[in-house]
Each structure stands twice: as structure tokens, then as C-alpha cells.
Amino acid sequence: MNGWVQSADAWIASIGEQGDWTRRTFLDAVMLDRATAIGGRFLDVGCGEGRFVRMLQERGMSGSGIDPVSSLIETAQKRDPEGDYAIGIGEKLAFEDASFDLTIGYLSLIDIEDFRAAIAEMTRVTKPGGSLLIANLTSFFTAGKWNRGLTGSAKSFQMDNYSEERATREKWAGIDILNWHRPLSAYFEAFLGNGLQLTYFSEPTPPDQNDSKSDRYTRVPGFLVMEWKKPI
């Protein structure tokens, strides 16, 4: 589980109902716009405590959420008793072929060691004509780190070993997990290898450049959002 079982309580406390800073400031807006534009029945792979599932339901969509961590799924069910949540892993989805119009990975591929199997499974359960909607950390970001000055402010960004796929340990707010770095080409090869067509790509940044937290996500691209369509 890459540390998620032990970090679940800290994650629930950190994410809340509004989401962390990056989600509520700029990622949610992009993901919600794209998801509602696609429409139909959705599957959220790595749904955590179910926050994004609930947000989509509030916009009239229906679907399911899965996560391998039982305490996260239990929390999702408590917060949304009528919702459809289940324990499951992205590498082996317990759904029939072509079950969903939209399959979502909202910052979940970076947590999955066998991401190639997960992308194949996400493709399998998506209907022809449907789409995979992916938010991910950029490969530039996962290959590097900020170097900070004596005042603690971010001074420069150092990137190394970009082409090497590897796990890195990340700690914040009581959370201690592994995130996976892969070059962007590895992701593209997996999506293209499953016959998908790229229909949308963006690197969203915070809209308010006066926000002190915006600096690290504009000087270096931190996130990307992609839509991959499954041909009819």
C-alpha cells in the first residue's frame, strides 16, 4: 500500500472536505470541468475518502469509487451512505469490460507501482467512445526537489535521473508514503499502447500569483491533466 494504510488517518484530517491547497486552488476546477463535459457514469480509481466522487455527484453525475485502503473506503461510506464505494486496486479492477463512460485517476497513478497494468485495466472498463481523465504530478516535478535558502524560501529546483523509474518517500502533515517517478514518455507509451487517443492536455497553475504558495507550482510545472479517448 506504499504507506497509505498507516497514513490514512492523517490524510483524512489533512484533506478535509475542501481538499488540500493544490486541489481546491486549481486542480479541482480543471478536473470538474473536464469530467462534467464528458459526462456519463464514472469510476474513480484511488478515490480515497471519496471527496471527488461526492463533488461529481453534486453536479448530477453518478458512479463508483474504489481504493485499496479499507479505512478510506469506510470514511467514504460514512460521509456518503448512498454512494457506491468498494475496496479495490487499479491493477485488477473488479468490473466488466466497457462498464464506464469515464474512468478517473486523480493523482492516483503516482501511488501505483504497476501503473502499466492499471492503465490497461482502466482502458478495459471504459466504454468505446469514453475517456480516461488523469491528473498527475509532472515527471519534471517527481524527478527533482526544491533547494531552499537560509530563510526557508524556495531558491532553485534541482532535477536528476529523469529517465530512471523509481519510488521516492514523501512526508508531510503526518503522511508518510511512496510516490513513483516515471518519465512522461513511460506514461504516454502505456496510454498509446492501449490504443487511446490524447484529446486534452494541460499543465494547470494557480490563478492567483499573489498567493505565496503559487511560486513553486508556476516556476516549475507541478501537475498535468490529460484526457485519453478510447476509440469506437
Domain boundaries, the chain: 4-138+184-229
- What's the average model confidence in pLDDT over 130-141? 97
The average confidence (pLDDT) of the chain is: 94
Q: Give Cα 88 distance to the centre of its chain.
A: 16
- What's the average model confidence in pLDDT over 176-184? 94
Tell whether the model's pLDDT for residue 54 goes beyond 90.
Answer: yes
Tell whether the model's pLDDT for residue 75 goes beyond 90.
Answer: yes
Question: Strands 100-106, 42-45: parallel, antiparallel or unpaired by DSSP?
Answer: parallel
- How far is residue 223's CA from residue 22's CA, in Å, rounded to a whole number? 9
- How far is residue 216's CA from residue 193's CA, in Å, rounded to a whole number? 33
3-state secondary structure of 167: strand
- What's the average model confidence in pLDDT over 113-137? 98
Query: Cell 466504454 appears where?
Result: 127
By the 10 Å C-beta count (0-12 exposed, 13-18 middle, 19+ buried), 97 is classed as: exposed
How many C-alpha atoms does 30 have within 13 Å on its Cβ side?
24
- What's the average model confidence in pLDDT over 115-139? 98
Banded model confidence at residue 149, pLDDT cuts 50, 70, 90: low
Q: What confidence score (pLDDT) does residue 153 get?
A: 62
Banded model confidence at residue 212, pLDDT cuts 50, 70, 90: confident
Q: What confidence score (pLDDT) does residue 151 get?
A: 57
Length of the chain: 232
Q: What confidence score (pLDDT) does residue 154 get?
A: 61
The CATH architecture of the domain made up of 4-138+184-229 is 3-Layer(aba) Sandwich (3.40)
Highest mean pLDDT among 15-29, 64-78, 136-150, 197-211: 64-78
The residues near 188 (Cβ < 8 Å, ≥ 6 apart) are 198
